[in-house]
Structure 1
Amino acid sequence: MIIISRNGDSLDYYSKLFQIPQVLVEEANSDIQGILQEGLYVNIPGFILRKESRNDFDLVTISKHYHLPLDALILVNQSNQGPFSVPVRIMGPLLNPVKFYDYQSLLDDLEALTVHYPFIKVESIGKSVLGKELLEVRIGQGEKVIHFNGSFHANEWITSAILMKWLNDLLLALSNDDRICGIACLPFFQEVTISVVPMVNPDGVDLVLKGEEAAEGCVDVLEMNNGNPAFYAWKANIRGVDLNNQYPAKWEIEKQRKVPQAPAPRDFPGEVCLSEPEAIAMKELAEKRNFCRVLALHTQGKEFYWGYEGWEPKQSEEIAKEFEARSGYRAVQYVDSHAGYKDWFIQEFRKEAYTIELGKGINPLPLSQFPSIYGESVHILMAALYM
């Protein structure tokens, strides 16, 4: 919610008045410092305003009913017109990501989170083939930057929904100084910066969920799909290039052995590596942010891959054992695969990276698996922050 400051107030005072951690209030108002002047717009994270009739209540009665400090009510009701405004703490999730999670769902949900938790940052890191903004969410102030991404593959869109539920749960826990999986969340805000790209391949996701119309007439996806109007098996981006086969980590091997050798719903690594704007954007993001750890969410298999060509750091094995113990997923050091984002990151930076294969079955996994997938994967997501 947004309030109007009074002369002599401070962000520290507002933190205490609304019982929101001071670091979150300060981050949500990074352009405001010191003693406040009258008339400034101040963001208070984790609250919404509810209206109550002036005919039925007075501020003292509302204060007792809602267990709020009287000055909090005075502060948000500096105008004498209209119904009373009552600041109400957000105590439950804002989002419902258990649905066919397309690009518009992502935009709507990011807008809701940004409005109610204005200490997060949402930034475009590039554009897809069809011009959709590739969005990164950042939370925290720490020098240790940990990155998560989803939907490299179009029919694995459930990974975007999983990440958005986790973000919502994390923001809720931060603003209420709460825990997830028994782990206190607030300490991470100052120790870690969380980077999330929830949907790497928005064009492909929309193609899977909406059909040929999502190609906007720019690409003949129906021909690439052998005339089949159902795109549920499509993994590639809208140009028929597998974004997780695009990176300069023995890409030539994948190019030689992959079938098909032309744009297709899956597995085509491109005519050259890093030909696709989505893949380039993710490469440049890693170089810019200096990630210390990367987790790429895929489906399916209930396992994860943590090594590449012996270039992974020693601590990767310890982290993998922790992930395995907490989630029940099987840890696999090496697979016969190259040119993936995880592969390139390990090769390029000699740092930790993990490909997490959520759930089990045939892609796209059904929404009925969402609760179990989240219940397993949230332990990995949280362990990645404190290990």
Structure 2
Amino acid sequence: MEITIRAEDTLSYYSHLFKVPLNLMEDSNPNISPTNMKVRGKVRIPGYISVPYVIEDGDSLWDLASAKGLHVDAILILNPTLESQLLKKDELIYIPERIGTAHTSVKTPCHYKSLVKTIQSLKKLYPFITVNTIGKSILGNSIHEIRIGRGKKKVHMNASFHANEWITTMVLMSLVNKYLHSLTNEELIRGEKASRFYEEIELSIVPMVNPDGVDLVLNGPPLKVKEEVVTINEGSEEFVHWKANIKGIDLNNQFPANWDICKRNKEPKSPASRDFPGDSPLTEPEAIAMADLAKNNSFDLVIAFHTQGEEFYWGYEGLEPPISEEIAIEFERVSGYQAIRYVNSHAGYKDWFIQEFKRPGFTIELGKGINPLPLSQFQKILKPAEEIFFAALSF
């Protein structure tokens, strides 16, 4: 929501007026400071929308404000021509309204364009977040990263490395939305004020690592690559179980953590709908973008959301630090998922992160069944994912 600056107004006053933490006000308006509060300039208020309202007989500003838990001035600031004592029947005014949590859809599968719309919506509603493009897919789709927070501790989470695991994008975006809502409403997270997490942590989110693959599973192949992907798919035009990127390379087998062992062990020796690790590590732009993201940031902890198994993996070749076990014990406690230290698997993002940086990395396998897991499992999947999400912010 945008408001117009009046004489003598300050960000601190807006913070008090709308009950939004000052740090979020400042980060939503990075070009505004006490020395350049220009009258008639615009200020963005995170966590609010302006709702039109037609005045009815008997309405008063005090009643309208009280109904929304607002100060009268919060309405006046949105309606600069309105006089506090004079409300005219049938007059159109605007009333500030705190937004609820339901700004991420769970009714239909999330493809690339719907993700872009959701990110744009969240950026408008919560302008203190930063949205970056960390790379492009084979087909030129942006790989988006969302940044939240000011802290020195850096936590990264991602989803949809695998195309038919698109439900992980929906889970992660729902959790991001809940976190943003908690921040603007000064709610408690695991018994702590949400503002503490914002000040102490910078959270990095890549909600869809493999946009081309997700769209292939959900929408079918674009004409320009249809012949190629049908050939890779052994002549079938059914792509529901496709895991790889659009070139038939499994992005979570692309990282230089014993990649040669992965190459030797995996059955496909050429592009396929799943498991083919490519002809060498880090050939695919999506994998390169994720590797560069980790190299260019000093992440303290990384979580990759996958499906399925109701378990998670937290070690690699004995290179994980001691704190990884502490975190794993807590993840297991809050989620009910089984903590597994080692599996016979290599070349994954979590594997490479642990090997490269000797810091905690986790692969979370949400839900149980056959991929892609159906939307009917969403709520069941969301709860343990939420517990892990917020537990990760506590370390």
TM-score (norm 2): 0.94
Which residue in the other structure is 1:53 paired with? 54
Q: Quote the residue 2:87 is aligned against.
A: none
1:111 aligned to 2:120?
yes
Which residue pairs with 2:357 in the alignment?
Answer: 349
Q: Secondary structure at the match of 1:124?
A: strand
Query: Matched residues in 2 for 1:304 and 1:67: separation?
Result: 43
SS at match of 2:76: helix
Residue 337 of structure 2 aligns with which residue? Answer: 329
Q: Deviations over 1:96-129 (max 9, x none)?
A: 2342111111111111111111011111001000
Pick one of 58, 67, 70 that aligns with 1:68.
70
Give the corresponding residue for 1:37. Answer: 38
Determine the C-alpha separation between the residues in 2 that align with 1:23 and 1:149: 26
Matches within 5 A, 1:184-195: 184-195=193-204
Compute the displacement of 1:180 (Å).
4.5
Deviates more, 1:22-31 or 1:74-83: 74-83
Q: 1:91: how far off?
A: 3.1
5 Å-filtered alignment, 1:80-91, equals 83-91=92-100
What letter matches 2:331 in structure 1? F
Contact 2:101–2:177 (8 Å) recurs in 1: no
Q: State whether residues 8 and 37 of structure 1, in contact with CA within 8 Å, keep that contact through their aligned partners in structure 2.
A: no
Helix, strand or coil: the match of 2:77?
A: helix
Contact 1:219 1:239 in 2 (8 A): no
State the shift of 1:73 in Å: 1.5
| Superposition deviation, residue 209 in structure 1 | 0.5
How do 1:268-347 and structure 2 match up within 5 A?
268-347=276-355
* Stretch of structure 1 that moved more, 66-75 or 354-363: 66-75
Distance 1:65 1:359 in 2: 41
Equivalent residue letter for 2:117: D
Q: Which is further off, 181-190 or 144-153?
A: 181-190
C-alpha distance in 2 between matches for 1:186 and 1:219: 51
Whole-angstrom CA distance in 1 between matches of 2:328 and 2:259: 25
Counterpart CA distance in 2 for 1:45 and 1:310 is: 44
In structure 1, what is the Cα distance between the partners aligned to 2:345 and 2:63? 66
Letter in 2 for 1:63: A
2:215 aligns to what? 206
1:136-285 aligned at under 5 Å gives the runs 136-180=145-189, 182=191, 184-213=193-222, 216-217=224-225, 220-285=228-293
Q: Post-superposition shift, 1:256? A: 1.7
The residue matched to 1:137 in structure 2 has which SS?
strand
Q: Distance in 2 between matches of 1:226 and 1:301?
A: 27
**Residue equivalent to 2:106:** 97
Q: Distance in 2 between matches of 1:222 and 1:183?
A: 51
- Contact 1:181/1:379 (8 A) holds in 2: no
- CA change 1:271–1:79 in 2 (3 A) is farther
Letter in 1 for 2:48: F
Give structure 2 stretches of 5+ with no counterpart: 84-90
The one-letter code sitting in structure 1 at the alignment partner of 2:289 is A
Amino acid at match of 1:21: P
* 1: CA distance, partners of 2:178 / 2:42: 27
Percent of pairs with identical residues: 49
1:350 CA drift (Å)? 0.6
Q: CA deviation at 1:66?
A: 3.3
1:130 maps onto 2:139 in alignment? yes
The amino acid that maps onto 1:372 is: K
CA distance in 2, matches of 1:375, 1:309: 30
User: After superposition, what is the alpha-carbon deviation per residue over 1:149-182, rounded to whole angstroms, capped at 9, x for unaligned?
Assistant: 0000000111000000001111111111113555
**CA positional deviation for 1:58:** 5.0
Is 1:304–1:332's contact at 8 Å kept on the other side of the alignment?
yes
CA distance in 1 between partners of 2:193 and 2:17 (Å):
22
1:362 matches 2:370? yes
Question: Match of 2:2?
Answer: 2
- Report the AA paired with residue 45 of structure 1: P
Q: Which amino acid aligns with 1:70?
A: V
Contact in 2 for aligned 1:98/1:370 (Cα 8 Å): no
| 1:220 aligned counterpart, secondary structure | helix
Code of the residue aligned with 1:102 in structure 2: it is H
Is 2:76–2:82's contact at 8 Å kept on the other side of the alignment?
no
Cα offset, 1:185, TM superposition = 2.2
Note the C-alpha offset of 1:335. 0.6
Q: CA RMSD in A?
A: 1.6
Q: Secondary structure at the match of 2:299?
A: coil
Indicate the larger mover: 199-208 or 91-100. Answer: 91-100
What amino acid is the match of 1:133?
S
1:3 shift after superposition? 0.5
Q: How many equivalent pairs are there?
A: 386
Q: Deviations over 1:44-80 (max 9, x none)?
A: 0011111122565453443344342121122111146
Q: Could you say if the C-alpha distance between residues 318 and 346 of structure 1 is closer, same or farther in structure 2, counting changes exceeding 3 Å?
A: same
TM-score under structure 1 length normalisation: 0.96
